Structure 1
């Protein structure tokens, strides 16, 4: 099969022929119809993830068709349309038994613990635990984000963030996961403040339901005159819920600084060790009784509520997809994520004809 492969961290990958994967006893092989280009993939390519071993094929948010299943798979067969959470759970550890597959103790992640979906085919472990069926009328390009960015944002806003109608929600960073969070929070009846340095990203955030957009490039930091200060002013005392959807020490601190008393911060964007641990305003956390929460994907069993909202048209993840490219264009697009802010979500279609 054809796949995007890199043999050195930070060196532009190349598309080459590699062996097709085989299904494990309880796993499946998916023919990849679409896979999202995500900042997490960029972190892996840069060497920021300790699980990545060279040579490597990136890609972790995908949708496609089941090509083959192992002999112990009971619920899926070749031809099924599926997506998969980027955290593939084992289904047997104490966390899985408690329903918390998104923090499985023996999790695997395509594109990180093993070769990923920037390829014509990808292997998925524990298919009966992890595969999520897709309706026939849902485009693969739209469905790809349901494996990571959109599902991650859904759980961060709804489950971890406990959003309620009428609340103010601040979203710091309006890339794929941030725009998803804006759309989901607005659909839940919240008033959303979108914060980003890109005018294009803020324009998209407004189209996704943001009530207020704040240009962080004109208001850096987290003190007086900052984007966090703008959130405090706009919301009349601070957001009830705030998310760092980018993942940087600056956006993390700004998210906390823009909360009102007893507000809730949810960290969604990755904070790799290479950037250093963020300096958090813990005196504010204590003094205002703030909650600081993490959010790490969403388990397959939790998908129905989100899928119902997508199916009814309340949520429109299709509006976030702004570009589709072929496999040959993926290496340059991946490398460019370090400097280009981008607009919306780009999906890679490995079987796309040139």
Structure 2
């Protein structure tokens, strides 16, 4: 098969021929019809993830058709249209038994713990626990955008953030995760403040329901701007980018007893991020992490998509062939990496 491969961290990846994967007894091989280009892939390419072994194929949000099935798989067969969370759970550890597959103790992640979906085929573990059926009529590009960014944003806003109608929600960083969060929060009846340095990203945020926008490049204090717009601070705030400055601004922009959800991966492996903890103590803030979404919790989100309340298809702003993936991956590290979701189609 053809795949995007890098041999050294931070050095150019290339498209080359590599061996086709084989399914584990509990797994499947999926023919990749679409796979998202995500900032998490850039973090992996930069060497920020200790699970990666070189040489490596990135890519973790995908959709396609089942190509081969392991002997112990009972729920899936060749030809099924599927997607998958970026966290593949084992299904048998205490966290999985509690229904918390997104923090599985023995999780695998395509594109991190093993070769990923910037390829024509990808192997996925524990298929009966992790695969999600793609509804009829949903494009593979839309389904691919669900697996990491949209599902991650849904869990962060709805399940972890406990969004309520009428609340102010601040979203820091309006890439794929951030724009998904804007759309989901607005659909829940919240008033959204979108924060970004890109006018194009803020234009998309308005399109997807943001009531207010803050150009972080044009203000001296982003947190203060959010507090001013919301009459004292956001009830719920998300760092959807993953940078020390956006994390601190998200916490700083909260009102009393507000809730911060960290969604974006932070680049420092030691977690050295200047969070205003004195403010967190004085205002009794909640500081929460959010790590993907378990496959069994997809149905309510998929029903909102089916009903047209949520439109993840509108978030897909560009489509690339596999040969264009290496430079696009490298470009994700820039301040102007582009808004929305970029999808790679490995067979185009």
TM-score category, normalised to shorter length:
over 0.9
Q: Which residue of 2 aligns with 1:54?
A: 54
> Which piece of structure 1 moves more, 277-286 or 203-212?
277-286
Q: Which residue of 1 aligns with 2:308?
A: 313
Superposed counterparts of 1:113-124, under 5 Å: 113-124=113-124
In the aligned structure 2, how far is the partner of 1:107 from the partner of 1:166?
37
Pair 1:177-2:177 in alignment: yes
| 3-state SS of paired residue (1:217) | coil
Query: Which of 292, 295, 304 lines up with 1:300 in the alignment?
Result: 295
In the aligned structure 2, how far is the partner of 1:166 from the partner of 1:343?
26
Q: Is the 8 A contact 1:49 1:272 kept in 2?
A: no
Shift of 1:338: 1.2
Q: Which residue of 1 aligns with 2:107?
A: 107
Shift of 1:134: 0.7
Q: Which residue of 2 aligns with 1:265?
A: 260
Q: Which residue of 2 aligns with 1:5?
A: 5
In the aligned structure 2, how far is the partner of 1:262 from the partner of 1:208?
27
Shift of 1:95: 0.3
Query: Which of 318, 336, 339 lines up with 1:323 in the alignment?
Result: 318
Q: Residue deviations 1:281-336, cap 9 Å, x none?
A: 11111111100000000000000010000010000001110100000000111011
In the aligned structure 1, how far is the partner of 2:35 from the partner of 2:152?
16
| 3-state SS of paired residue (2:217) | helix
Shift of 1:145: 1.1
Pair 1:341-2:317 in alignment: no
Q: Which residue of 1 aligns with 2:145?
A: 145
Shift of 1:219: 1.7
| 3-state SS of paired residue (1:11) | coil
In the aligned structure 1, how far is the partner of 2:117 from the partner of 2:185?
29
Pair 1:229-2:224 in alignment: yes
Shift of 1:98: 0.5
Structure 1 unaligned runs (5+)? 221-225
In the aligned structure 1, how far is the partner of 2:300 from the partner of 2:271?
36
Structure 2 unaligned runs (5+)? none
Q: TM-score, normalised by structure 1?
A: 0.97
Q: Residue deviations 1:111-165, cap 9 Å, x none?
A: 0000000000000000000000011200001110111000000000000000000
Pair 1:278-2:258 in alignment: no
Q: Which residue of 2 aligns with 1:30?
A: 30
Shift of 1:273: 2.1
| 3-state SS of paired residue (2:327) | helix
Q: Which residue of 2 aligns with 1:208?
A: 208
Kindly tell me the number of residue pairs found equivalent between the two proteins.
Answer: 347
| 3-state SS of paired residue (2:347) | coil
Q: Residue deviations 1:254-286, cap 9 Å, x none?
A: 001000000000000001325851111111111
Q: Which residue of 2 aligns with 1:223?
A: none
Shift of 1:92: 0.4
Q: Which residue of 1 aligns with 2:75?
A: 75
In the aligned structure 2, how far is the partner of 1:274 from the partner of 1:88?
22
| 3-state SS of paired residue (1:205) | helix
Q: Residue deviations 1:139-194, cap 9 Å, x none?
A: 00111011100000000000000000000000000000000000000000000000
Q: Is the 8 A contact 1:49 1:112 kept in 2?
A: yes
Superposed counterparts of 1:88-107, under 5 Å: 88-107=88-107
Q: Is the 8 A contact 1:198 1:341 kept in 2?
A: no
